[in-house]
């Protein structure tokens, strides 16, 4: 797999999806986008969901994408589906051991973390949409992964950015205490 091309495809897809959302809702203030719902059952890997939220959009938890205003932006997942068919073919077809699954999960997690870092940097430079606030962040919020969630957040958000996202450092501390 050409992971650089994969990451570029996700970056470009994420930029388009968030820009379209911001343009369609000019009166809303988007504060974050997140990848969640990662799925790999050993037979196939599917694109994670890209979610986005506004300051007033979370029903409760600021860092729970299933509760966000846009919990699944289908356009992003659909655009990336061909890449995930290739990942399934290259890593999982014919594989009969956990090593192939673990290798794919680790490579995919690392790639998605790099995608988040690049999307956040692009947004903060004003390269996605002018309506995004300077503190906009893209992060992996994968609550179903339990103890791994804190590591995924740390990998997907640069330390200097983490300090600028209201509540995210506190959320990380809560995960550490759980």
Report which of 83, 84, 115, 87 is spatially closest to residue 12, judged by C-alpha positions. 115
For the segment 96-153, what is each residue's pLDDT rounded down to a tens digit?
Answer: 778 888 999 999 999 999 999 999 999 999 999 999 999 999 999 998 888 899 999 9
- % pLDDT > 70, the chain: 97
Taking a C-beta distance cutoff of 8 angstroms, is the pair 165, 157 a contact? yes
Question: What are the C-alpha distances in Å from 56 to residues 4, 86, 108, 126?
Answer: 35, 38, 31, 22
Q: What domain range is 126 assigned to?
A: 3-177
Residue 161: in which H helix or E strand, if any? helix 159-162
Give Cβ neighbours of residue 68 (< 8 Å, ≥ 6 apart).
Answer: 34, 51, 52, 53, 57, 58
Number of domains in the chain: 1
pTM: 0.95
For the segment 58-76, what is each residue's pLDDT rounded down to a tens digit?
Answer: 666 789 999 999 999 999 9
* Res 101: pLDDT: 87
* Res 124: pLDDT: 97
């Amino acid at each position: 797999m050409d992971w650089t091309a994969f990451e570029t495809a996700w970056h470009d897809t994420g930029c388009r999806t968030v820009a379209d959302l911001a343009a369609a809702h000019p009166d809303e203030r988007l504060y974050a986008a997140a990848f969640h719902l990662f799925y790999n059952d050993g037979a196939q890997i599917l694109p994670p969901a890209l979610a986005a939220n506004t300051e007033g959009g979370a029903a409760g938890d600021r860092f729970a994408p299933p509760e966000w205003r846009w919990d699944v932006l289908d356009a992003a997942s659909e655009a990336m589906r061909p890449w995930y068919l290739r990942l399934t073919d290259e890593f999982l077809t014919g594989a009969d051991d956990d090593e192939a699954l673990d290798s794919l999960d680790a490579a995919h997690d690392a790639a998605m973390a790099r995608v988040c870092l690049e999307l956040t940097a692009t947004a903060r430079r004003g390269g996605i949409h002018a309506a995004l606030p300077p503190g906009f962040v893209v992060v992996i919020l994968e609550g179903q992964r339990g103890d791994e969630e804190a590591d995924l957040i740390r990998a997907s958000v640069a330390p200097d950015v983490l300090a600028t996202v209201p509540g995210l450092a506190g959320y990380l501390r809560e995960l550490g205490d759980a």
